[in-house]
Amino acid sequence: MSTIVITGGAGFIGSHLCDSLLQRGHRIICIDNLITGEIANIAHIHSDNFLFIKHDVTHYIYVEGPVDYVLHFASPASPIDYLQLPIQTLKVGALGTHKALGLAREKQASFLLASTSEVYGDPLAHPQREEYWGNVNPVGPRGVYDEAKRFAEAMTMAYHRYHGIDTRIVRIFNTAGPRMRMNDGRVIPNFICQALKGEDLTVYGDGSQTRSICYISDLIEGIHRLMLSDIHDPVNLGNPHETTILELAQRIIQQTGSSSQISFRPLPEDDPKQRRPDITRARELLSWEPAVGLREGLEKTVAYFREKLK
């Protein structure tokens, strides 16, 4: 049994990590200040091997006893969140990463950073390989999230090189599944909730921009494999199947059986036009690739939101 600290453990991805790692027989210490995480995501967990600590990880993190892994997933992660919480987003990317790395160093634990495809910005390279340095506007409205994660990656590598910390970096592409928040502003919950309510689906721009949607169980499996690996360079995790936003809206209308129409709005500033991971590194080094197709993943996610909207 390993003891694993998960910051942001009451969030969408973090809570699924708590579930998965508990099922694998580990002891989990979940730390979250609940700015965007929700107690409901972990309320079902009743285990002597699970501890929840409400704490802001931009401040010193105290944990009793030995720790084997620190997984840093604390951060606002949707456009609505980081536009409403710009300072908090920057602080958790900088100070939060610093404190989480400090905990890993103190406990001589391995460290895994949850980074993002947003480090590539509005990419000029397609698909995005880990070697690509990105095209980010540091002073644009999305810069608070993009640059926070880029800084977090730099700090993680600095701790690896200078202090010898055993580190990992996962670059997470668009992921969907149960426990996404209805109002978090990301495309999947937006479209599904609008469709289930019979409202028009809001498509920004002409809908030709692309996304690649990975189902949560596939992402969690990839994170687990990366956690157990000895790979220190960043690794993309996501589904390489690419679809346009307009196609995604039409598919969700069809799968929900909705009578909704599509409403077009101006494209937000710095919204990425293309997003598709090159997962060659994950395939070769982790023997990982997604197993859940878009249709199946959407069906499970739609079922979750149907229940939430009852």
Contact 239/214 with Cβ under 8 angstroms? Answer: yes
| The residue type at 60 | Y
Task: State the alpha helices, DSSP H only, in the chain.
Answer: 12-23, 79-84, 86-91, 97-107, 143-163, 187-197, 216-227, 245-256, 280-286, 294-308
Please state whether beta strands 110-116 and 69-72 pair in parallel, antiparallel, or not at all (unpaired). parallel
Query: What DSSP line would sit under 31-100, residue for residue?
Result: EE--SS--GGGTTT---TTEEEEE--TTS-----S--SEEEE--S--SHHHHHHSHHHHHHIIIIIHHHH
Please say if 145 is a catalytic residue: yes
For the chain, give the longest Cα–Cα distance.
58
| The residue type at 27 | R
Q: Catalytic pick from 69, 82, 120, 145?
A: 145
Structure tokens of 235? Answer: 């690794």
| The residue type at 72 | H
Structure tokens of 81? Answer: 């969140």
| Residues labelled as active-site residues | 145
